[in-house]
């Protein structure tokens, strides 16, 4: 039985990162995500050993039912922690998720991995979303300002040929 699971809940994404492995031009790329019914069924079959799930994508907050997905894992498994890997572009959805899931399960450790890959202008260019860097910081600060011990925003850097020579500067910035 698994201890940790990475669940790609969607291929949908509002970014078009130069390093992404998703083929957005493939006609069936968005037909592959599991329905909420399928996810509930999956979570009831994972056994009693699961400690962590990482909800990722695409952009996981592109799914409007992400709260229901999280609740399925909380209700049907033994998870103690949940990671959400996000591009940080949807601060209001991220904040709402954090509040609602924390209210639903006070013991669950919630970690938001917010991707920042470069200095502001370059980051927005590589991910092809205007003001993305600003929204990443907004998402980070909204979560930090909740002052809830088990809600942890962290910054995660995707290293690619475009930023590999600048990692130390990006990190310090």
Q: For the whole prediction, is pTM greater than 0.85? A: yes
Higher pLDDT, 52 or 160: 52
Q: What is the pLDDT of residue 58?
A: 92
Q: Name the band, by pLDDT with cuts 50, 70 and 90, for residue 151.
A: very high
Q: How far apart are CA 93 and CA 122, in angstroms?
A: 25
pLDDT single digits (tens) 69-117: 999 999 999 999 999 999 999 999 999 999 999 999 999 999 999 999 9
Q: What is the pLDDT of residue 108?
A: 98
Q: How far apart are CA 83 and CA 40, in angstroms?
A: 18
Percent of the chain, pLDDT > 90? 78
DSSP string, 110-160: EEEEEE--SSHHHHHHHHT-TTHHHHHHHHHHHHHHT--TTEEEEEE----
- Residues 148-172 have a mean pLDDT of 92
- Residues 152-157 have a mean pLDDT of 95
- Residues 136-146 have a mean pLDDT of 97
Say if CB 34 and CB 63 are below 8 A apart: no
């Amino acid at each position: 039985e698994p201890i940790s699971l990475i669940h790609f809940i969607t291929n949908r994404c509002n970014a078009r990162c130069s390093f992404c492995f998703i083929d957005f031009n493939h006609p069936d790329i968005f037909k592959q995500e599991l329905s909420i019914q399928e996810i509930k069924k999956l979570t009831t079959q994972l056994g009693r050993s699961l400690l962590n799930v990482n909800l990722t994508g695409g952009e996981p907050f592109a799914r409007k039912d992400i709260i229901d997905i999280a609740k399925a894992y909380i209700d049907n498994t033994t998870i103690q922690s949940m990671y959400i890997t996000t591009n940080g572009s949807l601060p209001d959805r991220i904040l709402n998720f954090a509040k609602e899931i924390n209210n639903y399960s006070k013991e669950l450790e919630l970690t938001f991995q917010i991707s920042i890959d470069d200095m502001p202008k370059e980051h927005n260019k590589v991910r092809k979303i205007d003001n993305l860097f600003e929204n990443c910081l907004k998402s980070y600060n909204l979560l930090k300002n909740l002052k809830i011990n088990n809600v942890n925003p962290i910054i995660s850097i995707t290293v690619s040929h475009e930023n590999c020579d600048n990692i130390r500067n990006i990190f310090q910035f």
